[in-house]
Each structure stands twice: as structure tokens, then as C-alpha cells.
Amino acid sequence: MIPAPVLLILGPVILALAVYVVRRITLAASLLSTAAALALAWLTSAVPQTAGEAILGGRVVGGEIEILGRTLALSPIDRSVLIVLSLVAAALFLLAIRFRPDNLFFSGALVLLGITAAILITEALVLRILLVELAAGVISVLIQGTGFGSTRGAWRFFLFTTLALPLLLIAGWQIDFQAANPGQVALLNPAVLLLTLGFAIYLGAVPFHLWMGPVAKEGQPLTQVLVFGFFHIAILTIVAGTSEQFPWFAASATPYQWFTFAGTLTVGIGLILALTTTTFGHLSVSNLMVDIGALLMLLGLGNHGGLQAAWVLMLLRLVSLTVWGTGLSVIRSRIDSDRVNRATGIGWQARLATVVLVLGGLSLAGLPLTPGFAGRWMATTLIARENMAAAALLLLGSAGGAIAVVRMTRTLFAPRVTHSGPPAEQGDWLTTGVLVVVLIVAIVLALYPHTVISAAVRIADYYTYLQ
């Protein structure tokens, strides 16, 4: 009998080896990866919560397991988050049939799913941090891919995430030492500060955001979903889990003060970048910085409503990034450049792809009638109750992102057409079909975001440290 936590971790990694063998056959790799992600989602939902119960004819048993003194257990929080990530991964694998990100994308994303499952299931903070560093290494490989161009994006991402490692490991050592010596309460004060700084670095708060631009420029568009979606969701889980596990961390004012300050600064820098951007990568990064700033400010509120809105923001960011990445994949394949001015007039040739790209950009900015609006509006209203100036800055950040998208749209639909050839979707029924499906899903989620919101609220409600 195989313990379910072990299968959830090792299953995607083992299947990634099979996918790697057929990586050059895109259709086979995509379908096999999609089946693996859907199987992981089903297994996660079907695993019994109590020990002794079994599924799959008694081959897989539920409950927790202890390995080398560390407990692995699938909590209700882990179950919900892993199901969401598995379903999003399955969607990405299907999209990759047409928008071939890289030969390593399928197997690498499956390995990342397995590592993410380990991060969620593991309860020990230090082990979680080490697994995050392992996930950062896998993501760095996916950013670089098999290309032999600039390594700046992958290298910066790995470097900046590694900066947080010693801080969090020292904090973990202080926590363990204090647990063995209850009288040494003073050790917890620096541990709080180290944890706060480490989490802010992981989330890309200013001034630790310098990796974001190169990653958006050099990485494939669909890879951004893994970097800014999967990775940040794993970090949010650790932040909330740490607060749940250590009441002294949740009771301290330090994390909330620093998260609020870092979030405000990040939104401001994102607004400035939005007004000066000239590339697709910087356009998405400016909107993402505003989104990250909003996330930090929500965590800084120190109440349960802020935690709920933070999860709504993160789940809707997955949708926005997927829509943006789908449209950008088509545009980039036509111009082979990240500069917006190189795509002048291409909107007349790739109309559907341009519409999807614009919708994704507006969604990242949190504009009404887009999937990202619900999360950004929840964040703004909650922040306004505590700090009207911060909420006004957040609204300006959304407006700046929208202005950047409008400027991009004017360039894409400029009267001077500089790209020869038939429309991008003409004669390519697969591309047209994918774009239509993505557009329909985005519109449905923009009009009816309640499914995503309710899922996010359920995840947040499992945490009790702010209730």
C-alpha cells in the first residue's frame, strides 16, 4: 500500500520522466501531461482524510505519514490548493499543444507540481523553505528553457529567491532553538523580522523585484503562469501556514507593518513603470507589481477579510496570466521580439489574438468586465477601510496599467501595417479554436467570478489565526 502523501509528491515526478522521453512529440507530451495533471487533481480530491481508509482497490491509503521525523499530511487547505493548481496545469498543457513553449515545459511543470505538493503537504517550516529553493531551481530551468540566449532572467530569479534562503533558515533555527529552550523568548523577535523579510523577497517586493523584467522578457509567455502564479501561491500558503503554526508570529505587529510598507512601495514603483513601459514584458510586470503590492497590503491588514481577498487575488491572477500568455504567444511568434513598437499594425492581421492579449492586459490591471476586476476591487475596498491614501494609490496603479494597455492597443492597431502575410489565425483552425475557448472562458469568469471567489474564500476560511 502506498501512502497518499507520497504518491501525490512522487507521482508527478515519475510521470515527468515518461513525458521527457516523448518531449519532442508535442501532441504526445501535451496529452500525457494533461492526463497526469487531471489524475493528480482527481487523486487529491479522492484521498481519504483519515488513516486506514483506502482507494484504488486498497493500493493507496489516506492519513498522514512520518518520514525521518517529519510529518506529511494532506490538510483541507492543501487539498483545495493542489486541486486548483493541477487543473490550471492541465489547461496550460493543452494550450501548449499549439503554443509550444519549450521541450522542457511539460516535464518541468510536472516536476514543479510534485514539488509544490511537497511544499503543501510538509508541515516543517525549514523543510518547506528548502523545497521552495528546489522549486526555484526548476522554475529557473523553465525560464531559460533550451535556448542559448541571455541567462539574465533565469539567473536573477534564482539569485533573488536564494537571498531569502539564509534569512529563513536562520529564523527556522531560532524557532527550533527557542522551542527546546522555552525561556529564550527573545529569540523570537529577530525571527519575526527575518521571516517577514524572507517572505517579502519571495513575493518580489521592491527592491527585490529586479528579476521580474528579465523573466517576463526572456521566458515564454505561458511560463509566467508558473513563476507569478504557482510560485507565489506556494509562498502565500507558507506565509499563512506560518502564521497558523506560530501564534507569536501572527500576534506580532511587525509583519503587518512591513507588508503594508513594502506593498505601498511596490504599487508606486509599478505605477511608474506602467507609465514608461515600451515592451510587452515590462507591461505585464508593471501590472503584476501593482498586484503584488495589493497582495502585500492585504496581508498587512491583519484581518480575515484581507486574507480572503488575498486568495481571491491570487486565483484570479492565474486566469489573467493565462489569458495574457495565450495572446502574447501568438503575437511574439509573429514578430520575434518583446518590443511593442515592433508589433505596429499587427492587430489587423492577428485580430483575435490581439483581443485576447488586450483582455489579458486589462485583467492584469484589474479593470471592470475582466476576470481580474473582482480581486482588485475587493482589495481596494478592504484597504480603503484602513488607509484611504493606500487605496487611492492602488486605484492609480490600476489606472496606470490600463493606460499602458491602451497605448499598446493603439500601437497594435496602428494604420501602418508592417507585417506581411495572411492573418495569424487564417487557415490555422487550432490557433483560432484555442483563442476562442480562452476568450469565452475569460468572459464567463469576468461576468461570473463567484466560482473562483468561493473557492478562494473556502481556502482562506480553513485558517483560524485571524478569526
Residue 218's pLDDT is 84
The pLDDT of residue 164 = 93
Predicted pLDDT of residue 346: 86
Lowest pLDDT segment from 57-71, 268-282, 395-409, 418-432? 418-432
Mean pLDDT of 278-293: 92
Res. 417: pLDDT tops 80: no
User: Of 34-48, 273-287, 297-311, 325-339, which range is least confident?
Assistant: 325-339
Statement: residue 64 has pLDDT above 90: no
Locus of grid cell 529577530: 190
Residue 98 has pLDDT above 80, yes or no: no
* pLDDT tens readout for residues 327-352: 998 888 888 778 888 888 888 888 89
pLDDT at 63: 67
**Cα 115 to chain centroid, rounded:** 14
Judged against a pLDDT cut of 80, whether residue 428 lies above it is answered with: no
**Mean pLDDT value across residues 359-376:** 94
pLDDT at position 57:
67
* Least confident among 106-120, 174-188, 377-391: 174-188
Mean pLDDT of 67-73: 75
- Please give the pLDDT value at position 422: 46
In the chain, % of residues over pLDDT 70? 94
Residue 52 confidence (pLDDT) = 67
Q: 25 versus 382: which is more confidently predicted? A: 382
Residue 26 cell numbers, joined: 508535442
Whether residue 391 contacts residue 333, with contact meaning beta carbons closer than 8 Å, is answered with no
Of the candidate ranges 170-174, 227-231, 317-321, the one whose mean pLDDT is the lowest? 170-174
| All cell numbers assigned to 130 | 528548502
Which of 327-341, 362-376, 411-425 ranks highest by mean pLDDT?
362-376
pTM: 0.92
Residue 253, Cβ density class (10 Å: 0-12 exposed, 13-18 middle, ≥19 buried): exposed
d(CA 356, CA 347): 11
For the residues 125-143, what does the mean pLDDT come to? 92
Q: What pLDDT, on the 0 to 100 scale, is given for residue 51?
A: 67
pLDDT of residue 284: 92
Q: Which of 186-190, 312-316, 317-321 has the lowest mean pLDDT?
A: 186-190
- Distance, in Å, from the CA atom of 138 to the CA atom of 223, rounded to the nearest integer, reads 12
pLDDT at 416: 58
What percent of the chain is modeled with pLDDT above 90?
A: 59
pLDDT value at residue 53: 72
CA atoms within 13 A on the CB side of 119: 30
In 166-322 the beta strands, taken as DSSP E runs, fall at: none
Q: Are 47 and 61 in contact (CB under 8 A)?
A: no
Who contacts 251 (Cβ-Cβ below 8 Å, separation ≥6)?
none
| Averaged pLDDT for residues 146-171 | 84
Mean pLDDT estimate for the chain: 88
Mean pLDDT of 303-330: 94
Please say if the pLDDT value at position 325 is more than 70: yes
421 pLDDT band, cuts 50/70/90, is: very low
Whole-number Cα distances in Å, 150 to 145, 147, 156, 163:
11, 8, 11, 22
pLDDT-wise least confident of 63-77, 359-373, 436-450 = 63-77
